[in-house]
């Protein structure tokens, strides 16, 4: 019998998105222009925040914040070793070796007690990560800073996974100084590549949105739309900026996705709940992210952990499922395990709880064009293979 092939995370693109891109291509305005500006407004409304800034990627959004807030090589940046490298690379780009704080035992989130101990006079920024669509306990992190008398520290949430998630009844977007979302191809809402920074207030800088805007355009004082007006070619350069603006092509996809987003979230929730039901009575299954009343997930990932499994056993399970046509993944290989990070002095031995989360974790397919019958087929075969 031919295998039933189920990919891990294909994008959910309809004729609506295709038509929107064609309209932009025909309009003669394909880089940052009216669509990117409209997308920012819609994100602002959706997240109920004062400011939204569309960028070319989540990674570049983090770089932009660190650039504007002059996070320098003599500063210290604290983050988690359990994330994609984009989070920690931000510190390296500024000439800083990030300080990693181990996870809480049996949790995907940073240990607040260890975070308290890691903060020192040089700490300038903390980047937390919303894993799998579930927000970090933002208030618990803020309480650490208050207890340490360090509320001056820049709080940045890598919210790449949590667009549309809720924390204490409110959508993620202004609980910290800055949140950065990702709209990469595998994210819940996609613009192919892209991201957005959301924030309230100016954080001690006059007209921060404007500063972000010109810093994202190589430091030039006018965007392309302004410069195109007849006779308006003159511009100034105000800083040694980056180049990380979002194009109108990407924004057009995002605008359509945002219109469809509630349906997308609801379908993801159904799949997540189906997995929960199917694994609930399996004593070997460590279910991720059961709702705790404070948070509502955006159901970006389903990181199942398997009690008693070693890294080798988990890898074998991934291979067995792949042979059946079921693509799975691992979120995440801890950052200290990568060659580059080992070369600059990190060791996974220093992060035992992080390794324990990783070694028996397998991420199951979870996306808006995955049928419930396919999700059931995946779960049945995971159970069969584990219990074999």
Instruction: Summarize the confidence of residues 134-159 as an average pLDDT.
Output: 98
Q: What is the pLDDT of residue 2?
A: 59
DSSP string, 276-305: HHHHTT-TTEE------SSEE-----EEEE
> What gap in Å lies between CA 180 and CA 199, rounded to an integer?
9
> What are the tens digits of pLDDT across the range 40-72?
999 999 999 999 999 999 999 999 999 999 999
Q: Residue 88: is its pLDDT beyond 80? A: yes
282 catalytic? Reply is no
Burial (CB < 10 A; 0-12, 13-18, 19+), residue 256, is buried
Instruction: Tell me whether domains 15-256 and 262-387 share a fold.
Output: no
Instruction: Summarize the confidence of residues 341-358 as an average pLDDT.
Output: 98
Pick the CATH number of 262-387 from 3.30.70.60, 3.90.1150.10, 3.40.50.300, 3.10.450.50: 3.90.1150.10
Number of CB atoms found within 10 A of residue 373's CB: 9
Pick the CATH number of 15-256 from 3.30.450.30, 3.90.1150.10, 3.40.640.10, 3.40.50.2300: 3.40.640.10
Which of 187, 213, 307, 349 is the catalytic position? 187
Closest residue by Cα to residue 195 from 209, 213, 184, 182:
182
The answer to whether residues 258 and 189 touch, using CB atoms and an 8 Å cutoff, is: yes
Q: Which two tokens stand for residue 145?
A: 């800073």
Q: What is the pLDDT of residue 1?
A: 41
Instruction: Summarize the confidence of residues 359-387 as an average pLDDT.
Output: 98
Closest residue by Cα to residue 195 from 244, 265, 257, 248:
244
Mean pLDDT of the chain: 96
Q: Residue 319: is its pLDDT beyond 60? A: yes
The answer to whether residues 217 and 238 touch, using CB atoms and an 8 Å cutoff, is: no
Q: What is the pLDDT of residue 290?
A: 78
Q: What is the pLDDT of residue 321?
A: 98
| Domain layout of the chain by residue ranges | 15-256, 262-387
Burial (CB < 10 A; 0-12, 13-18, 19+), residue 374, is middle
Closest residue by Cα to residue 81 from 354, 372, 302:
354
Hunting for tokens 């007006």 — which residue is that?
A: 229
The answer to pTM > 0.85 is yes
> What are the tens digits of pLDDT across the range 209-225?
999 999 999 999 988 77
* pLDDT band of 231, cuts 50, 70, 90: confident
> What gap in Å lies between CA 145 and CA 126, rounded to an integer?
10
Instruction: Summarize the confidence of residues 118-132 as an average pLDDT.
Output: 98
> What gap in Å lies between CA 305 and CA 231, rounded to an integer?
61
Instruction: Give 39's DSSP letter.
Output: H
- Cα–Cα separations (whole angstroms), residue 12 to 177, 190, 247: 31, 8, 20
């Amino acid at each position: 019998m031919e295998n039933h092939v189920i990919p891990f995370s294909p994008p959910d693109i309809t004729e609506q998105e295709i038509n929107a891109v064609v309209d932009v291509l025909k309009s003669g305005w394909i880089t940052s222009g009216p669509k990117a500006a409209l997308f920012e407004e819609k994100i602002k409304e959706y997240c109920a925040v004062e400011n939204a800034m569309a960028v070319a990627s989540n990674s570049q959004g983090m770089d932009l914040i660190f650039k504007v807030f002059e996070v320098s090589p003599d500063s210290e940046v604290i983050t988690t070793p359990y994330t994609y490298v984009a989070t920690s690379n931000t510190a390296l780009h500024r000439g800083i070796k990030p300080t990693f704080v181990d996870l809480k035992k049996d949790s995907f989130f940073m240990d607040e007690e260890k975070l308290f101990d890691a903060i020192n006079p040089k700490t300038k920024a903390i980047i937390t990560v919303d894993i799998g669509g579930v927000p970090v306990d933002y208030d618990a992190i803020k309480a650490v800073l208050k207890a340490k008398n360090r509320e001056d520290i820049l709080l940045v949430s890598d919210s790449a996974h949590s667009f549309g998630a809720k924390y204490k009844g409110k959508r993620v977007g202004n609980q910290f100084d800055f949140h950065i979302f990702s709209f990469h191809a595998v994210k819940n809402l996609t613009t192919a590549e892209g991201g957005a920074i959301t924030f309230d207030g100016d954080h001690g800088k006059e007209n921060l949105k404007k500063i972000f805007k010109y810093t994202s355009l190589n430091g030039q004082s006018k965007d392309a739309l302004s410069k195109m007006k007849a006779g308006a070619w003159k511009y100034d350069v105000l800083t040694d900026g980056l180049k990380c603006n979002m194009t109108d092509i990407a924004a057009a996809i995002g605008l359509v996705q945002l219109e469809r987003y509630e349906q997308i979230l609801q379908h993801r929730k159904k799949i997540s709940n189906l997995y929960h039901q199917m694994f609930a009575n399996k004593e070997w299954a460590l279910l991720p992210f059961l709702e705790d009343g404070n948070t509502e997930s955006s159901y970006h990932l389903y990181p199942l952990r398997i009690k008693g499994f070693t890294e080798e056993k988990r890898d074998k399970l991934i291979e067995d499922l792949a042979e059946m046509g079921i693509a799975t993944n691992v979120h995440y290989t801890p950052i200290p395990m990568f060659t580059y990070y080992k070369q600059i002095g990190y060791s996974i031995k220093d992060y035992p709880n992080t390794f324990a989360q990783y070694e028996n974790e397998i991420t199951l397919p979870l996306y808006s064009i995955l049928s419930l019958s396919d999700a059931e087929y995946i779960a049945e075969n995971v159970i069969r293979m584990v219990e074999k």
